[in-house]
Amino acid sequence: MNAEPDFESFEQAEFTDDDEPPSGGKHSSPVIATDLIKLKNDTTRTFPVSENTKDFIQKFYPGTSLEEWNNWRWQLKNSITTISQLKKFINLNPDEVEAIDNPHHSLPLRITPYYASLMGKSDASDPIRRCMVPTINELFLSPGESSDPLEEGHYSPIPNLVHRYPDRVLFLTTGFCSAYCRYCTRSHMVAKDKCHVGVEAWQPALNYIKTHPEVRDVLVSGGDPLTMSDAHIEYLLQNLRAIKHVEIIRIGTKVPVVLPQRITQNLLRILKQYHPLYISIHFTHPAELSPETAEACARLADIGIPLGSQTVLLKGINDDVNTMKQLMQGLLKIRVRPYYIYQCDPIPGSNHFRTKVSKGIEIIKGLRGFTTGYAVPTFVIDAPGGGGKIPLLPEYYQGEVDGKVILKNYEDKTFYYPNPID
């Protein structure tokens, strides 16, 4: 497992243009043809298809077999990317039409058919629809908003790698996602002319990690790294695991939520070779906790991968205690540990998504003590200007008096803890 990867064999492998994710573009490498081989054990555990999804297929994709529907490449090739396609599924309002037709919106449109099946047809306030469908609000710049609010570019010593914290790096392996969230922190780099896919583009970052022994933790992100081919994923993990001082590898993804069919048996076979491996999954709303997503998470958990959730706090979508509690408790049921709630980053056109910071503190206060501690994530602001993640908590600590610490519990009752005598 720790043998030196054979770069040349990957470069000389047979390629086919048909395998590349649809928005790859001329700057990205095609995936390796061997990734298309269907292993027999791929069919031993099929994905469930909910009744809601079956009705959606019958209505909008008549004649499509469940085998086709459950093929992740079919999902990518049939993704919704134009206004004419989208109009078939939902009744667009004028704000949405104007935004989609406007060339200045920050991100293109892309929604997998599966994820579209969870979206409300007539309700413009539907949480998944609001996360996926552009509105004219994206076109208005508010004070403090910028294309790179975290200043990742300032902490990027070489292309595709961010080294902001002492012992860990962020490896931006691709600019492609299977679905584009309208509040995306990296809207300045995803879906652009350079998708960063390919072993050649990764070499400077891999060499940087090799020559910096302080790096013990690598977060593989993008874009979404699980949209890449099996061969590319294996090459990347093999290279990272071959670096002796890299202790853990993490993958940041929304694939189990928007493209759960991607979690194939062959992908699982690859992933389980490179422990310790962790996966952080971007969840937004309880509506995403479908049988399909539960199966994707079960497959990952069954091969020993710890799963965590990262949720962006969004106005009118998940910014109330009951919604967030339902999401966090539901995540535990599918073996995903709530990890972070993020204050929405101030990217251009994000004002309509961003809540007051006090709302996040209110939600944590409404969770702590009212549900199991496992269901209580950490509320953080990723500080603009490159300050890193700063956790925020309700004021449980009230100070000290007469050698005692004053504490306020989840019921707002006051208690006193005796400090030890020096």
What's 40's DSSP letter? G
Cα–Cα distances in angstroms (integers) from residue 87 to residues 81, 122, 259, in the given order: 11, 11, 21
What's 317's DSSP letter? T
End-to-end Cα, the chain, rounded Å:
53
* Distance in angstroms (rounded) separating the CA atoms of residues 123 and 171: 38
Catalytic residues: 164-165, 168, 177, 181, 184, 186, 345, 382, 389
Which helix H or strand E contains 228, and what residues bound it? none
SS (H, E, C) 349-404: CCCCCCCCHHHHHHHHHHHECCECHHHCCEEEEEECCCCEEEEECCCCEEEEECCE
Give SS3 for 407. Answer: strand
H helices of 159-309, in order, are 199-210, 230-241, 255-258, 265-271, 291-302
Structure tokens at 186: 């990296």
